[in-house]
Structure 1
């Protein structure tokens, strides 16, 4: 049960450091601003449409929050020297990494759940309706997105020997996902085909785009909530615009391949949760902590 001990201690440390309270306050403030703003100016907006609008700021702030929560999880113990004390007790290095992953995921989940509880209250108070299925679907998708970025952050933290390296890697990863993914996918397509991507297009190109967790989140959120959700990505006017799940069949040249079914987007988010953590652990397992 060493993993549970580490996770519980990590969660309690987050409470004492006010990390959980700060994160929860930030997400609640975001949800409150979004609902009040749309209620004030979007007079024809329905409660269900509000769910799709809420997904836009959430997919920007939740990954940032997850990276902040996780990037110091392991390397912070190394900097303070407490990692030696921790490893002098029953937990192994694997227990530490997995316990940190569970603990930091719990911190993020608590903040997200609180924010959605506020969204439920505001939906009833301001719009007079509660699209429970749509909000529940968006909640599940948001948790998957947040956990994916916690996995990235904890993996980076486990693999890094200094705070600066961990911060640079997490910030760089987020910038690539939100700012440069469209350029990368369009560039790869151009190198292989000597032309810019246009619709309809091969399924492989759309799969490459879906490897971005932001894009995968949009697919999962659309499927679970029943409301079209689009990824927040810089477009640069290159490549093709983000394709809604409902329009995917028309965007693909030929039959829709199996790897563009909604389950593949879930697999992408799960992979971003598990793979970076595994790689980070393998680096941490052989690291010199002296």
Structure 2
């Protein structure tokens, strides 16, 4: 996301602009766009909330310089004091570092928090500890999402995906993973991508969203990359700039042809148990029908 200078200084954020709260958020059943915004730039966060993303992720980690961490945490807690019309997640600092505990304590339980993204996860105990730290008395804590950003995290993908009931999703952090593996070409990450997709499915989680496309001006490259991600089984994508959102959405929403085919399959199967033959000679079984229903459901998202 393009950075702007925050209106407030490094003290308590009292003048940061933010959209007026409009009751509890109602995220789409299938979020496709997850827009990151730096937690120490309240004006940028406000723009992100108005950009049309399904989820806004306020980042306290990589996007924030060390000397701005405290301000970012305070500004984010101020933002989350009331529910917003767009679901807001927070990416805290690395769980094995000194800042994560303070991040979790500052935002857990706030009415505007809809999820926590946990970076650089490598063991199930980290997820369980985060769930315990954010659980409220007599109530569940916020949904958790684990980011796998190392070879060890990818290797343990299934164990991590099953680490705790509060975990709702896993995804890759490809910049760190690329550095850890020493991978140069994009294809070098495909095995790790497939591993995370399979682990999420095996654990009963939603399909993971793709990692960010770092070149925010390369929209053609973004579209090509999204098509590749969709073919691998991802669903939706994280973004760094609002201009990336429509490209991601177009890539992951069904085409007119896919919708027509899905409607034909569902119609052929309605009231007819067992495999059915379509007019073009293809046979349709329960698995094909289930996939067609998912396509229709995605097209009908709010």
TM-score of Structure 1 vs Structure 2, range by shorter chain: under 0.3
TM-score (norm 2): 0.25
TM-score (norm 1): 0.26
| Greater per-residue helix proportion | 1
| Greater per-residue strand proportion | 2
